[in-house]
């Protein structure tokens, strides 16, 4: 059984200003370009958090999202439209300049209904 400690911590031990600061530094979710939000997965021992997300949902992002006041980038686990893994990306800006070109051609062949052009 997994125990959710954050709600207990927030309710019992943190003041409003501390809860606000915690949410700024370590948000539970990120807002996507379409306005929806998606939950981040935090790892133990201060490891880089991860986000599983469909590639087409972040075509508007220039760079990887970050937490901890911008100090730690979120590792993106990119999925195709069928929610199957494509690749893991630690630096989105570099991905757009490099591997995306190859992956885009493959995705266009399998998923022609999706517009794979970046904004």
Q: Which of 12-16, 25-29, 32-36, 94-98 has the highest mean pLDDT?
A: 94-98
**Domain containing residue 95:** 27-110
Is the pLDDT assigned to residue 35 strictly greater than 70? yes
The Cα–Cα gap between 35 and 60 comes to 12
Closest Cα to residue 107, out of 65, 75, 78? 78
Is the pLDDT assigned to residue 6 strictly greater than 80? no
Question: Structurally, how many domains does the chain consist of?
Answer: 1
At residue 61, the pLDDT reads: 95
In a domain, 12, yes or no: no
The Cα–Cα gap between 5 and 72 comes to 22
Percent of the chain surpassing pLDDT 70: 94
What is the tens place of the pLDDT at every residue in 39-72? 999 988 888 999 999 999 999 999 999 999 989 9
In a domain, 13, yes or no: no
In a domain, 104, yes or no: yes
At residue 53, the pLDDT reads: 96
């Amino acid at each position: 059984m997994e125990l959710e400690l954050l709600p207990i911590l927030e309710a019992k031990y943190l003041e409003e200003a501390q809860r606000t600061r915690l949410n700024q530094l370590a948000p539970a979710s990120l807002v996507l370009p379409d306005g929806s939000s998606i939950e981040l997965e935090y790892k133990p021992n201060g490891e880089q958090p991860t986000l599983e997300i469909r590639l087409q949902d972040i075509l508007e992002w220039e760079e990887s999202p970050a937490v901890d006041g911008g100090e730690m980038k979120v590792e993106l686990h990119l999925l195709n439209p069928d929610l199957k893994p494509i690749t893991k990306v630690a630096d989105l800006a570099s991905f757009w300049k490099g591997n995306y070109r190859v992956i885009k051609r493959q995705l266009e062949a399998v998923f022609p209904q999706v517009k794979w052009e970046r904004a």
